[in-house]
Amino acid sequence: MTDSSVPTSLEDVPSSRPVLETLERFHGKVWDVASDRVDLGDAGVVTRDYVRHTGAVVIVALDPDERVYLVRQYRHPVQAECWEPPAGLLDLAGEDPLEAARRELHEEADLAASTWHTLVDYYPSGGGVSEAVRVFLARDLAPVPESERHEREDEEADMIGAWVPLDDAVVAILEGRIHASSAVAGLLAADRARRDGFAGLRDPRAPWLRPEATRLTR
């Protein structure tokens, strides 16, 4: 039986196991699928299939009236139009995550922010996807001038945006009406930060336990 006592330091531990072989199963437009033969020592050698993902940033934009800006976007794998915060892939080689967040806030919400913090980091599905997500809290917001706004294309062309009271968004999550992981993690974290008077927020460039991005598409 393993020891179930609470560890003295409750944090994820960077770790790896020897990879004996990697097979590239699929090469897609945005991410790839790989199979690794992994040596687990006494537990033997196992094969693990997973999606190689560049990682992503999410932006919870919060205004002085405690409203958050959400977009409703079609997500084909789940066959739903999901309400979620602005977000984007870390698919530009060498791009700083904070600068990526600034770009996505500009492109998807026509907003700029002068105050940034790290809100929460998470792995959406660590058992099968290498994706790591950082959620930023953006405040002190200003609209982007009309002449500088991004022209949305593809799946973003019919994206709807709206200001929503944070309290209403939290209720929608807890009642099962909002499902996107970025919304669940980001908005619940924003609610907790607000209740704590934003005292525990981290620097926007705080250390991040993020797997190395193995796929850069642009």
Nearest to 29 by CA among 54, 10, 4, 9: 54
Half-sphere exposure (CA, 13 Å, Cβ side) for 184?
13
Q: What DSSP element (H or E) covers 187? A: helix 181-195
Rg (CA), the chain: 19
Nearest to 89 by CA among 182, 203, 183: 182
Residue 76 contacts by C-beta under 8 Å, 6 or more apart in sequence?
none
- The one catalytic residue in 81, 104, 148, 156 is 156
Q: If you search the block for the tokens 């099962």, which residue do you land on?
A: 176
CA angle 42, 47, 51 (to 5 degrees): 130
Q: Cβ(192)–Cβ(173) under 8 Å?
A: no
Give catalytic status of residue 156 as yes or no. yes
Q: Which residues are catalytic?
A: 156
